[in-house]
Amino acid sequence: MTRAVNFCPRCGAALIPMQAGGKLRPFCRACQQPVYIDPKVAVVVFIEREGMVLLIQRAVDPGKGKWALPAGFVDFDEAPASAARREALEETGIEARINTLLAVFPKRDQGLADITIAYSAEAVGGNLQAGDDAADAAWFSREALPPLVPFPSNALVERWRQGKLDFGLPLWDRQT
């Protein structure tokens, strides 16, 4: 996905391509500054309880009808672990406590995010109810997994199914 910009977000002037920092970037002649396009950051949450993982069925494309881990984009002023907690609540009704960092993924071909941060979490409250862009939400055992979206849900759930998911690093960012 390209995220081309044609106008300066500061002053609204038309941008021209110019070399800056070793790359051709959109440049504003009025502001005399390049416009940097920042990576889009997403979070994905792995919530396990009694040997089951919490999944949502996607109501919209990409992957409509398939199942996925709760996930979404980090807002500009939001800590990633807070975004993970918010997405889990919005999509599943479950209140999660984010525990550890599982992985940081770079962009993949079909991915909407440039960087995806995966957390492990535990359910600490709430009531299971699908919401936001989830059509359904349910717990699944290793033996009865539904069709999953390819990435990163499938990669993480498949590792977990094989007993190889490393419940990794403690968090450094404060949850708000």
Which residues are near Zn ion by CB under 5 A?
8, 10-11, 13, 28, 30-31
Q: Do residues 94 and 54 touch, judged by C-beta distance below 8 A? A: yes
Residue 77 CB, shortest distance to Zn ion, in Å, is 23
Measured at CB, which residue is nearest to Zn ion? Answer: 8
Which tokens belong to 87? 């997405």
CB of 6 to Zn ion, least distance (A): 12
Q: Whole-number minimum distance, CB 3 to Zn ion, in Å?
A: 18
Considering the complex, state which of residue 32 and residue 162 has its C-beta at the smaller distance from Zn ion. 32
CB nearer to Zn ion: give 21 or 170. Answer: 21
Alpha carbon distances (Å) from 31 to 6, 11, 28, 36, 49:
14, 7, 5, 13, 53
Radius of gyration in angstroms for the set of CA atoms belonging to the chain, rounded to a whole number: 19
Q: Closest CB to Zn ion among 10 and 108?
A: 10
| Residues counted in the chain | 176
